Each structure stands twice: as C-alpha cells, then as structure tokens.
Amino acid sequence: MPQPPADQARTKSTYGLQWNRFRIVRDDEDRATFANRTGLKAGDLAGTLVLDGGCGMGRYLRVAAADVPRLVVGLDLSEAVLAARDLTEGSPNVAIVRGDLLRLPVAEGSFDHIYSIGVLDHTPDPRAAFLGLARLLKPGGRIAIWIYERESPIVERIMDAHRAVSTRLPLGLLLRLCQATAPIGAIKRRLMTSRRRLVERAGVALHALTIGVSMHPDPEVRVCDTLDWYAPKYLSRHTVEEVRGWFAEAGLVDVVDLSLGQRFHHEGQGNGVNLAGRRPA
C-alpha cells in the first residue's frame, strides 16, 4: 500500500515566514557559498538548463543566473517562492515553480546541472528526494548537494533535545526568541575564537547550551539562521558514507567530496556533507 504523503505543513509555514521576513542577500558571501557548495566555476552554467532544488528566497538563483544559463528553474515547497520571484524579477532566464521535491512536477532527464543547498535534510525523506532529483539529470548532467553532517552522539542528543521543544513552539514566539538570543551568538563567536584556553572553553560550554544560536557575524543573518535551525520539523543529519550510498544508488559517477579544502566565508559556517556527481553520458 502506498504511504500517505508526510505532513510538511510546518516546513511550509516556517520557510514561508523565514524567507519573506528575511530577504538576506549578501552578494560576496552568496557567491562564495555557491562556489564552495556547488564546485561550479564561472562559465560552467553558460547555455545550460539548471535546477535549484529548494531555492528558498532565491539568493543562489541570482548567482546562477549571472552565469548566463539558458534557464535556471528555482523550485520550492513554500511561499518562499514569492520572495524568490521578487528577487529575480529582472532576470529573464529565471523561472520559479512551487512544488515538492518528493512529488516532482518536472520531467525526468531535463537538466544539465542541479544543485540543492541545505534542502534535502529538511524533507521527510532525504534519500528519496535526492534520488528524485538525480533522475532529473540529462545523461552527462551533474548534481551537487549540501546537507547537515551527523555530529557526535552527545552533540546529536543535545540538538535533538533542544529541537524536541523548539519545533513545537508557535513560529511567532520562536521568532521573538531567536531575536532575543541573537546577541548570544556574537558572544559565543568572540569567546570561541579567543586564544585564551579558559575563555575558549567557556565559549564551548555556552555553545552547548545554545547550540542552534547562530554565530554569523551579521546580526540579521544570525536571527534568520537561528530560526532555520530551531523551527523546521525536519532537520536530519547524515554521514558522508550514507550520502555516497545515495549517489551510488542513483548510478552517478565521478563523485567528489566538495567539502575537502573548502575555505569558509566566515568562521562558524556550518559543516556539512557536500558531494557532487555526474550521470553517465
């Protein structure tokens, strides 16, 4: 018997709110993060058909569109698509579609390039969502994904305990809590980058208590990232081996680990599983 579709109502409400409230375009950082997490260089997308799987408010659509692809399609489940449409209004080579990665509204074998940054781990079934995306590749097409990495068992337990509470809070209240706790992120950042061991340890202890409070240097991004951590119902973490297994199952080749040797745009940017692979030509 086919399973009923999982409940993604909280995903829709979280990201509809988040990406319409925080239209955080940061050109330099967005370009650096896009290059890091897709492994694409200038010109790679020129003349190709591209899919951003889970485009949110469209910050990476803007970067991809600047490479002059034939078309970049941004797909997202939530009303973030409204923000993405506004953000890319002046780009004739961007199309926005509202849809579910688990019930893809796109024909298989359509795209030369697919990227999906911080999305699959927010779906109820990341493996199925990945396999669906991989099927959309043309022969020779390439996919790059970034998702959260599994932490040590103790850190996993702390994260799960925090989120067991936060994901049940009304979004309006949670947003106010994220705003109220944002200064803690700046304090943690200062403490944890201290050269004095005792101070650095104090920072680590504070971080354990407030693990999802972002340490991003920009206060607005900090609030947005903190909400992104505490609000969504689905937020899974994975190992590189597990995700390599998905690439193998999809029949992808030339699989590379993009996380190796990456340079972050700022300290405290999240570690993740970041792989790319190609469908055989």
Q: Are 85 and 62 in contact (CB under 8 A)?
A: no
- Nearer residue to ligand SAM within complex by CB, 101 or 250: 101
H or E, element range at 153 = helix 153-166
H or E, element range at 275 = strand 272-278
Answer yes or no whether residue 11 interacts with ligand SAM by CB under 6 A. yes
- Nearer residue to ligand SAM within complex by CB, 19 or 111: 19
CB atoms within 10 A of CB 121: 22
Select the span of 97-105, 169-177, 200-208, 260-268 touching ligand SAM (CB under 6 A). Answer: 97-105
Select the span of 76-84, 135-143, 172-180, 258-266 touching ligand SAM (CB under 6 A). Answer: 76-84
Number of residues near ligand SAM (by CB under 6 A): 22
- Nearer residue to ligand SAM within complex by CB, 81 or 191: 81
Answer yes or no whether residue 15 interacts with ligand SAM by CB under 6 A. yes
Answer yes or no whether residue 122 interacts with ligand SAM by CB under 6 A. yes
- Per-residue binder mask for ligand SAM (CB under 6 A), 38-67, x = binder: ----------------xxx--xx-------
Answer yes or no whether residue 100 interacts with ligand SAM by CB under 6 A. yes
29: DSSP letter: H
126: DSSP letter: H
Q: Report the DSSP pairing between strands 272-278 and 253-257.
A: antiparallel
Select the span of 95-103, 135-143, 152-160, 162-170 touching ligand SAM (CB under 6 A). Answer: 95-103
Answer yes or no whether residue 235 interacts with ligand SAM by CB under 6 A. no
Answer yes or no whether residue 274 interacts with ligand SAM by CB under 6 A. no
Give the residue, chosen from 40, 72, 117, 223, that forms a contact with ligand SAM under the rule CB under 6 A. Answer: 117
Q: Are 48 and 21 in contact (CB under 8 A)?
A: no
Which residues are within 8 A (CB) of 119 and not within 5 positions of it... i.e. 6 or more apart?
Answer: 53, 54, 56, 101, 129, 147
- Per-residue binder mask for ligand SAM (CB under 6 A), 202-231, x = binder: --------------------------x---
Q: Are 133 and 123 in contact (CB under 8 A)?
A: no
Q: Where are the beta strands (DSSP E) in 35-193?
A: 49-53, 71-76, 94-98, 111-117, 137-148
What 3-state DSSP class applies to 146? strand
- Residues contributing to the site for ligand SAM (CB under 6 A): 8, 11, 15, 19, 54-56, 59-60, 76-78, 80, 100-102, 117-119, 122-123, 228
